[in-house]
A and B are shown apart, each in its own frame.
Chain A
Amino acid sequence: MVSVINTIDTLHEDMIHDAQMDYYGLHLATCSSDRSIRIFEVKNGTQRLLSTLQGHDGPVWQIAWAHPKYGKMLASCSYDRKVIIWKEQDGQWIKLYEYADHDSSVNSVCWAPHELGLILACGSSDGSISVIKHHGENQWEATKINNAHTGGCNAVSWAPAVVPGSLIEPPSQNQQNTFVKKFCSAGCDNLIKVWSDKDGRWEEVEKLQAHTDWVRDCAWAPSIGLPCSKIASCSQDRQVIIWTSDESTGGQWTSKTLNEFDDVVWHVSWSLTGDILAVSGGNNKVSLWKEKLNGDWTIVSDIGKGQPGSTE
Chain B
Amino acid sequence: MVKIKQVNVAANYAWSPAENHPVYIAAGTAAQQLDATFSSNAKLELYAVDMADESYTVKCAGTIETENRFQKVVWGSNYTDGAHTSGLIVCGTDKGNIEIYNPEKILENEADCVLTTSKHTGPVRSLDFNNFQKNLFASGANDSEIFIWDLKNPTNPMTPGAKTQPTSAVGALAWNKQVQHILASTSSLTSGPCCVVWDLRKNEPIIKVQDPSGRMQCSDVTWHPDVATQLVLSSEDDHLPVVQLWDLRFATSPMKVLEKHSKGVLSVSWCKQDADLLLTCGKDNQVYCWNPNSSPPEILCELETGAQWCFDVQWCPRNPNVVSTGSFDGVIAIHSIMGGCAPVDSANQNQAQRNKITDAFGSDAFAGEAPNQQQQQPKAKSVPLKKPPKWMRRPCAASFSFGGKLVSFGNNPPAENQHQQPNHRVVKISQVVTEEKLLERSAELRRALADDAQCTDYCRKKLADAQNEFEEDFWSFLKVNFESEPRKEFLQLLGYNKVDLKAKVSFYLEDFFRNKTVNIMAGSLHLRIRSFSSSTVSIATLPTCRNCFHTFHIPNQSNTPKSIKISRYIDSMISQALLIGDYEAAVDLCLHSNRMADAIVVAMAGGPELMEKTQKRYFEANESKISRLLSAVVMKNWGDVVKSCDLENWKEALASLLTYASPDELITLCDELGARLEKHPDLKSNACLCYICSGNIEQLVRSWNNVKPENNSNDIQDLIEKMMVLHRVVEQRSGGRSAASMGETASEKLSEYAHMLAAQGQLNAAMEMLPASSDKISIQILRDRLFHSQGDDVAGYQPPVFPFARDGVRGGQRPEAQIYSTGLYNNQQNQQRGYQPTPATQPVRSQYNQQVTSPFIAFKPPRNQMYQPAQQRPAATPNRPQDVNPYARPNQAPTYSAPQAPTSMFTPQPVSMSTPQVPGLMPPSPQPIDTSQLNMMTPAAPAPTPMGQMMQPGSSPMMQPGTSPIMPGVYPSSAPMQNIPPVSLSPLKTAKKTQISYTNRKKHKYPIQIRKKNTNVLLFHFKPPLPICPTVYSEEKDDLDTSLSDDEQSAAPAPSVQTGALKGAPKAPIPTEHQILQTQFDELIKKAMNQNNNQQIKRKLDECSRRIEFLYDKLRGNSLSPNIIGGLHQVAQSVASRDYAGGLRHHTHIVTHSNFSEISAFMPGLKSLLQIAGQLRI
Measured CB to CB, the residues of A under 8 A from B are 1-12, 14-26, 28, 30, 33, 42-44, 58-59, 61, 67-73, 79, 81, 87, 89-91, 94-97, 102-105, 107, 114, 117-118, 124-128, 134, 136-138, 146-147, 149-152, 169-170, 172-174, 176-177, 187-191, 207, 209, 212-214, 237, 266-267, 269-273, 275-276, 278-282, 284, 286, 288, 290, 293, 300-301, 303, 306-310
Contacts and interface: CB of A to CB of B under 8 A. Distances in A.
Find the residue from A23, A103, A114, A300 having the highest chain B CB count within 10 A.
Answer: A103
Given A103-B340, A272-B402, A18 B809 contact: no
Contact of B398 (A91, A102, A267): A267
21 contacts: A1-B432, A2-B406, A5-B431, A7-B428, A9-B421, A16-B409, A18-B394, A21-B401, A24-B788, A26-B791, A42-B429, A79-B384, A87-B811, A90-B822, A150-B4, A172-B777, A173-B805, A173-B935, A280-B397, A280-B410, A284-B410
Q: Top 10 closest A-B pairs, CB basis?
A: A126-B340, A284-B410, A21-B401, A71-B997, A309-B428, A189-B51, A308-B408, A69-B804, A125-B338, A104-B340
Contacts of A303: 398, 408, 430
B408 A309 contact: yes
B810 A43 contact: no
B979 interface: no
Given A79-B384, A282-B395, 16 more contacts: A1-B433, A11-B425, A16-B411, A19-B407, A20-B401, A21-B407, A25-B405, A26-B789, A102-B340, A128-B340, A151-B4, A176-B938, A267-B397, A272-B759, A308-B396, A308-B409
Contacts of A23: 402, 785
Contacts of A177: 940
B393 A59 contact: yes
B933 to A, nearest CB: 10
Contacts of A301: 432, 434
A152 B408 contact: no
Nearest to B20: A212
A299 B409 CA distance: 20
Interface in B922-977: 932, 935-942
B676 to A, nearest CB: 29
Contacts of A273: 755-756, 759
Given A306-B412, A308-B408, A150 B51 contact: yes
Interface string B820-848: 00100000000000000000000000000
A237 B412 CA distance: 21
A70 B394 contact: no
A67 B784 CA distance: 13
Interface in B372-401: 381-382, 384, 387-388, 392-401
Contacts of B399: 18-21, 267, 269, 278
B791 A43 contact: yes
A8 B401 CA distance: 16
A146 B381 CA distance: 14
A75 B399 CA distance: 16
B404 to A, nearest CB: 7
Interface in B1-19: 2, 4
B1011 interface: no
Given A21-B405, A59-B393, A152-B338, A71 B996 contact: yes
B941 A95 contact: no
Nearest to B397: A267
A280 B811 contact: no
A30 B932 CA distance: 37
A307 B410 contact: yes
B425 A10 contact: yes
Contacts of B651: none
A86 to B, nearest CB: 9
B680 interface: no
B1147 interface: no
Given A25-B789, A267-B398, A306-B412, A173 B937 contact: yes
Nearest to B791: A43
A114 B392 CA distance: 29
B711 interface: yes
Given A71-B996, A173-B936, A284-B396, A308 B428 contact: yes
A84 to B, nearest CB: 11
Contacts of A22: 401
Nearest to B759: A273
B434 A290 contact: yes
Contacts of A103: 2, 339-341, 381-382
B642 to A, nearest CB: 34
Contact count band on B:
35 or more
B812 A89 contact: yes
Contact of B319 (A33, A188, A286): A188
B315 to A, nearest CB: 14
B989 interface: yes
Contacts of A272: 400-402, 759
A90 B388 contact: no
A272 B812 CA distance: 34
Nearest to B408: A308
B408 A19 contact: yes
Contacts of B406: 2, 278, 286, 288, 309
A191 B52 contact: yes
B957 to A, nearest CB: 16
A213 B318 contact: yes
A70 B412 contact: no
B426 A8 contact: yes
B910 interface: no
A22 B789 CA distance: 10
Contacts of B412: 284, 306
A12 B425 contact: yes
B393 A17 contact: yes
Nearest to A43: B791
B528 interface: no
Contact of B811 (A19, A136, A138, A278): A138
A68 to B, nearest CB: 7
B472 interface: no
B436 interface: yes
Interface in B793-829: 802, 804-812, 814, 818-819, 822
Contacts of B341: 103, 126-128, 146
A12 B409 CA distance: 12
Contact of A10 (B384, B427, B433): B427
Contacts of B810: 87, 89, 138
B935 A280 contact: no
A125 B391 CA distance: 13
Interface in B297-339: 318-319, 321-322, 336, 338-339
Given A126-B340, A177-B940, A271-B404, A24 B785 contact: yes
Interface in B341-370: 341, 343-344
Contact of B340 (A5, A134, A152, A276): A152
Interface string B507-521: 000000000000000
Nearest to B793: A43
B54 interface: yes
Contacts of A149: 51
A76 B166 CA distance: 61
Contact of B997 (A12, A43, A70, A152): A70
Contacts of A30: 409, 427
B400 A271 contact: yes
Nearest to B989: A137
B403 interface: yes
A99 B403 CA distance: 33
B568 interface: no
A19 B804 contact: no
B424 interface: yes
Contacts of B812: 89, 94
A25 B934 CA distance: 29
B21 interface: yes
B427 A19 contact: yes
Nearest to A216: B394
B385 to A, nearest CB: 9
